[in-house]
Amino acid sequence: MDGVGQKIKARKGETAHRKTLKKRHNHYFLYALLAPALILTIIFKYVPMYGAVIAFKDFSPLKGIMRSDWVGFKYFEKFLNSPNFTDIFTNTISLSLFGLICSFPIPIVLALMLNQVRQAKIKKNVQLILYAPNFISVVVIVGMLFIFLSPVGPINQLVSAIFGQPLMFMSEPGYFRSIYILSGIWQGAGWSSIIYVAALAGVDPELHNAASLDGANIFQRILHIDLPTIRPIMAIVFILAAGGIMSIGFEKAYLMQTSMNLPSSEIISTYVYKVGLQAGDYSYSAAVGLFNSVINVFLLVAVNFVVKKLNEGEGLY
């Protein structure tokens, strides 16, 4: 395997030239490219940032955020002292973590598979079908889950015929995580594969030809040509996803909750929504958001560190 790999690398290297270059000192143009993003970020993200302190204040609209009373960690304590805090926290992390681990490889595999399809028409149509579920709103997805997985729905008709009893998919806490993650993959894997497909578009088909002539089979070719091309993107996607673990969204979990599956379906965002239903409790949700963000940052830095080790020093930083 190694010999082939080396040969492929050598092929790539043949197209490199070494020449001396003049160093450029003032990159005004590049700064100009950067400027709109920077200015907009400063205006719309940094200027309002003073508002983050709302998590430490008892917000009163007439006083505004800055002049409202300081209450320190009151809302953080309220959150951390919730009777079921540990469960909710664990639910959030495990849902996110397993979700990440399960759904990360699928778009990649899909992209690699699609890449091997020769006929353009088939490829196009298959792609279209794979992308379609992305456009279905989460309300309908969950609605469909309830219908398909209902005790009298199609899946359970099969189960009942075999085992005599239906499986209570939407009631048992044990199923929640799997259903959540699998339906998420069903919905999003196709769409997420687009970025990898695009990256693979940059691979010179000549490389594949040449490698094949050198005796490499498909696996070897994928391993040594395709994968290295998309590795940087894989790394980035993974790192960024890790940095979002605590912030897993609220809507889908909330819709999927039934009275029985709460032990695994109650996550931070749904809980905060319910407690903060006395509307306008900005301080409480801000405190929880801040708590989540701090954890996310730690995760990001940690994962970035690990990924860099595996990815030849290339990570977010």
Sign of CA dihedral 295, 301, 304, 305: negative
86-105 footprint of other proteins as x/- string (CB under 8 A): --------------------
Tell me the site size for other proteins, rule CB under 8 A: 131
Q: How far is the CB of 312 from other proteins (least distance, A)?
A: 13
130 binds other proteins (CB under 8 A): yes
Beta bridge partners, 58, equal: 69
Q: Percentages helix, strand, coil for the chain, rounded to the nearest 5?
A: 75, 0, 25
Name the segment binding other proteins (CB under 8 A); options: 1-9, 93-101, 144-152, 305-313.
144-152
Local structure of residue 24 (DSSP, 8 states): P
- Take residue 304 and report the two structure tokens written for it: 């970035």
Q: How far is the CB of 174 from other proteins (least distance, A)?
A: 13
Instruction: Kindly tell me the sign of the dihedral angle through the C-alpha atoms of 140, 193, 246, 87.
Output: positive
Q: How far is the CB of 127 from other proteins (least distance, A)?
A: 7
CB 183 within 8 A of CB 141: yes
Q: Which is nearer to other proteins, 97 or 251 (CB)?
A: 251
Contact residue for other proteins among 3, 6, 9, 41 (CB under 8 A)? 41
Binding string, residues 167-206; x marks residues near other proteins by CB under 8 A: -x-xx--------------x---x---xx-xxxxxxxxxx
For 156, the enclosing helix (H) or strand (E) is helix 154-163
Does the protein bind other proteins through residue 39 (CB under 8 A)?
A: yes
Q: How many helices (H) and strands (E) does the chain have?
A: 17, 2
Binder among 8, 57, 65, 177 for other proteins (CB under 8 A): 65
Work out how close the CB of 150 gets to other proteins at its nearest, in angstroms, rounded to a whole number.
Answer: 6
Question: Binder to other proteins among 105, 174, 209, 305 (CB under 8 A)?
Answer: 209
Residue 140 CB burial class (10 angstroms; 0-12, 13-18, ≥19): exposed
33 in contact with other proteins (CB under 8 A): yes
- How many residues comprise the chain? 317
Site for other proteins in 221-250 (CB under 8 A): 229, 232-233, 236, 240, 243
Stretch that binds other proteins, among 3-11, 40-48, 95-103, 305-313 (CB under 8 A): 40-48
Which residue's CB is nearer to other proteins, number 95 or number 288?
Answer: 288
Q: What's the CA gap between 241 and 245, in Å, rounded?
A: 7
Answer whether 169's CB lies under 8 Å from 175's CB: yes
